[in-house]
Structure 1
Amino acid sequence: MANELILTFLKAGLHTTLQDEGRVGSQNLGVPVGGALDSTSAKMANHLVGNKGNTPLLEITMTGPEILFDSDALIALTGAPFELYCDEKVIENNTPIYIKGGSVIKFGKIKSGCRAYLAVAGNWKATKWQGSVSPILQLNEATPDSLIKKGSKIQIESSLLNKTGSWDKNRHTPIIAHRVRLRVKPGPEFESISRTAIAKFFGQGHKISQDANRMGYRLTTELISEEEREEMISSGIVPGTIQITGSGQPIILLNDAQTTGGYPRIANILSEDMDQLAQLKPGDEIWFSIE
């Protein structure tokens, strides 16, 4: 039996958005992929409450929102572990939780990582563009429900009869570290980049700078000198492409990045390692290894 549920955001959090699996197949039109950065955690949250994998859910970055539920609901939070409260009572991450209408969900401190995913059982009534609710930063009016602000409301056709999914928390809860090794394949311009820059790329750790968001992570390392820097004709890029920018620093492009770029592409991160990348934040360290 379904009931209408409205989520009212008493606080928005640092950067809370509505996400799904994104817009795969529209990159030839210049449309970014978008979608949840940690796709495994997002799918697991939906699985726990019995939703289909592409059901919208909330992606919560670093600081969480405060949400009023006006009706009974089934929720699950996965990804980066937060201190989580329902009406001041501590509730668990990584498990389905039934909450009563009138309850307020609050987020405390984040324990590790960067992004968490909050799923709510039911059919989310949110505006889609090109088949997805994921916001387009250059075209926010296309998905007006998806960039959460204080006072935002989301309507859900909620069903407490949804079959919840089983999940072995000890097996599937992500291990989130501040230093990771990511596997890459050589990029199209790999052979034209100096051996010195290649040695720096693979031979040391790279800190994530403060210039880090859903479009990309700029790293602090300077790989090439000013004399070596050059631009090229814009070419296609995908989430996980690593370019060497005009500053000589590498930048890792993420889901909301443009679909073409004019800097040398030194490498591409394997898709299987992108979820780890999504949980990193400024100051964390990345080492690269060639696959």
Structure 2
Amino acid sequence: MGKLKVIQTGPMTTVQDFGRFGYRRYGIPQSGAMDKEWMITANQMVGNPDHFPVVEFAISGIKIEALEDTSIAILGAQVKLNDKELSESYAKLSQGDLIEIAPPAHVYAYIAIGGKLHTKEDFGSYSTYIRAGFGGINGREIGKGDLLKTSGRTGKRQDISPPEKSLENLVGINIMKGPEWDLLKELPSLITFKVDSSSDRMSVRLTGAKLDCDYHEIASSAVIPGIIQLPPDGQPIVLMNDCQTTGGYPRIGKVLKEDMGKLAQLKPGKEIKLVLENS
């Protein structure tokens, strides 16, 4: 168990777990950690089950004070403990310790605390979905003065290395054909796209040469995270964890599940190729 007090943080700092499933028919998005691989690894480092909620943050760093002894793992950002830079992602904290975490090295970074976070559960998940006020800290972003409290015993800590993220100039994202794939007049794999700065937890927007399609709109149809929509401007939109449950743009493809975290961690301006599975 443990208790941490948030001294300073910025926007897009939320509690996330694997997300909520089985409620899309009611218009409720999935939400959940954008990079589940790092979420799982952080939990394992402090001896938590893989599915325990963690703190996900982007854009800015975080400053936290330990109010109780506990353990902590931070993936995706540099950390200072009492003004001394940590050489590893795991640390044991004593009451009064001050943790300063830099902005994420990629897009998202994660904090796991030993024990289970005391947060709000809605529809089977602790994940924060701000638009509806679900989960997390009263359904909102974590802010200055919030307390992050955990309870319960932790399991055996796993001494593992964080999974590395691609530093390549051109990143391949594997996709499968979507329901409206045959409406395309050219293959997406022939084009290099860039990640747009407007990307967020709802979608990753791609810019580059325009894709041409026979129809620019379809009857409103079900969508899920990973679906690639093609709006009239020809610039693909990849739906992410907080996406809506229906949409009216052609669904030309879907990013494979195992590449969703990789895509989420690509900074604006990063070049990608959409690689068709088994092509």
TM-score, scaled to structure 2: 0.91
Query: Which structure 1 segments of 5+ residues have no match?
Result: none
CA offsets, 1:134-168, max 9 Å, x none? 11232126541652122222222264x6421231x
Q: Output aligned runs, 1:38-117, within 5 Å.
A: 38-78=35-75, 80=76, 82-94=77-89, 96-110=90-104, 112-117=105-110
DSSP 3-state at the match of 2:41: helix
Match of 1:244 among 212, 224, 230: 230
1:23 is aligned to: 20
Query: Which structure 2 segments of 5+ residues have no match?
Result: none
Distance 1:133 1:145 in 2: 9
Alpha-carbon contact 1:189-1:264 (below 8 Å) kept = yes
2:150 is aligned to: 156
Q: Which runs of 4+ in 1 moved over 6 A?
A: none
Match of 2:184 among 167, 188, 193: 193
CA offsets, 1:89-114, max 9 Å, x none? 111344x310111111111254x421
CA offsets, 1:160-186, max 9 Å, x none? x6421231x2xx522332531011101
1:174 is aligned to: 164
Match of 1:207 among 179, 188, 194: 194
2:129 is aligned to: 136
DSSP 3-state at the match of 1:210: coil
Q: Identity percentage over the alignment?
A: 32
For these two proteins, the number of residue pairs brought into alignment is 275
TM-score, scaled to structure 1: 0.88
Alpha-carbon contact 1:222-1:247 (below 8 Å) kept = no
Deviation at 1:209, TM superposition (A): 1.0
CA offsets, 1:78-133, max 9 Å, x none? 2x3x2211111111344x310111111111254x4211111000121111110111
Which region of structure 1 is more displaced relative to structure 2, 128-137 or 141-150?
A: 141-150
1:118 is aligned to: 111
Alpha-carbon contact 1:184-1:267 (below 8 Å) kept = yes
DSSP 3-state at the match of 2:143: coil
CA offsets, 1:174-207, max 9 Å, x none? 2332531011101100101223xx2xx2112111
DSSP 3-state at the match of 2:131: coil
